[in-house]
Structure 1
């Protein structure tokens, strides 16, 4: 890691946190990505652990959050791939990558996404999550911007290490998916199917209805969506 580049970007994020109304480091990092990385319109930091476990740590805006939701709903996308491979995923034109993630491409293009760049949050041989950068226009990012994004991903890992247990409550997240886990268990017990099959049915219903898995799960928990509607 370039020490001077790392120190410069760390100062920018720290200054952003210290500005009036800014207290969350992760949210500040997302906002810095948008302001400091030329060509980036929105960004999100997501913690991942397998295909069912996910926590949205922070996002720059609702658009970025919706795109992270889309990846979770269909179980594919640049962030999912970067997490799985441990390497960056750089897509300058999403329309040319439709066959790579057809479900995500459908949802993302409806949201107006044209290009995406995902960087894994690596700690040794372990990947903790991803830093995802989104563009509304097709086109790549310059080598300098890509380098800065990689540094910001590394800084995120360092921040996670510093803050994971120091407050006693762990790292605060913007969106938790615990309701999905509970709804998956309820569905599995009711229909006498595996957790994997139950989660797949939640995902299928969400995709078919153009809703997020989290919204569907909350409907299940609130009894607004009868479980027999997810039986097939």
Structure 2
């Protein structure tokens, strides 16, 4: 049965690649379409730290995935940390588990989520998140097919980001300990301008993104362009 799902996933992806090219975003869209998900995203994690949104089907997916970087919690982090799927039928009932992330996800229309770790052998490199706008659970058959896509996307991610193979392996951590360089540079600008510590500057960036439901990288780029949050 796993073999059948793997073959079907590759066939579906092959058809999508013929139209849209061979990218992680193409793989996310093929997976979402096949499994009746409304949107999907893939986040890659380096050395136990949340680092990179590698693929997203649309703007909703980018915002919901970025919310995990901003808040340091969510299905991607849990799937990665525990190396097992996370299946939530209704995110409106997940506020206790993810008090900062769940409201943002719901504001973007997400109601149910299936997150699967991206693994290659003993290496875990991130997670695939599938979202629905209704509180409808994924069937066991759909979860099995999603697992096939996760294995394929893990291989595609390593091909697109080979540095993940050479990164020192450390125990996974909760919270957004790692940021892309753009975020650190923006925090440095804020720290110098307002006399903040680096941690306080990062906190101000995250708070600004959270209040405006804006991707953290967008906020950082604004600081780089304008030398200010405003």
Which TM class, normalised by the smaller chain length? Answer: 0.7 to 0.9
Q: Classify the secondary structure of the residue corresponding to 2:221.
A: helix
Partners of 1:101 and 1:115 in 2: CA distance:
14
**Which of 54-63 and 112-121 deviates more?**
54-63
Report the alpha carbon displacement of residue 211 of structure 1 after superposing the two structures with TM.
2.7
Give the Cα–Cα distance (whole angstroms) in 1 for the partners of residues 189 and 49 of structure 2. 15
Between the aligned partners of 2:62 and 2:139, the Cα distance in structure 1 is 24
Larger RCO, structure (CA 8 Å, separation 6 or more): 2
Provide the rounded CA distance (Å) in 2 between the counterparts of 1:27 and 1:95.
27
Could you tell me which residue of structure 2 aligns to residue 169 of structure 1? none
**Is the aligned partner of 1:217 residue 2:220?**
yes
Q: Per the alignment, do residues 97 and 53 of structure 1 end up closer, same or farther by CA in structure 2, a change over 3 Å counting?
A: closer
Cα distance, 1:186 vs. partner?
Answer: 3.4
CA shift for structure 1 position 179 = 1.8
What is residue 171 of structure 1 aligned with on the other side? none
CA separation of 1:84/1:185 partners in 2, compared to 1, >3 Å: closer, same or farther?
farther
Return closer, same or farther for 1:81/1:189 CA change in 2, 3 Å cut-off: farther
Q: Is the 8 A contact 1:219 1:225 kept in 2?
A: yes
Q: Out of 92, 97, 101, which is 1:100 matched to?
A: 97
Distance 2:118 2:65 in 1: 15
Corresponding position: 1:79 with 2:82: no
Other structure's SS at 2:147 match = helix
The residue matched to 1:101 in structure 2 has which SS?
A: coil
CA distance in 1, matches of 2:152, 2:105: 27
- The equivalent residue for 2:60 is 63
SS in 1 for 2:105: helix
1:134 pairs with 2:149: no
C-alpha distance in 1 between matches for 2:48 and 2:197: 18
Is the 2:189–2:227 Cα contact (8 Å) retained in structure 1? no
- 2:25 aligned with 1:45, yes or no? no
SS in 2 for 1:222: helix
Q: CA deviation at 1:103?
A: 1.0
* Deviation digits for residues 169-192 of structure 1 (CA, Å, limit 9, x no counterpart): xxxxxxx94421321343455636
Partner residue of 2:144? 147
TM-score, structure 1 as length reference: 0.81
Report the 3-state secondary structure (helix = DSSP H, G, I; strand = E; otherwise coil) of the residue aligned with 1:9.
helix
- Please, which runs of 5 or more residues in structure 2 have no aligned partner? 163-178
Paired residue total: 213
Shift of 1:53: 4.4
Structure 2 distance, partners of 1:29, 1:217, is: 28
Shift of 1:197: 4.1
Q: Which runs of 4+ in 1 moved over 3 A?
A: 50-53, 161-165, 185-192
Q: 2-side partners of 1:156 and 1:74: how far apart?
A: 25
Match of 2:202 in 1: 199
Instruction: State the 1:51 CA deviation.
Output: 7.5
Distance 1:162 1:209 in 2: 34
Matched with 1:34 is: 32
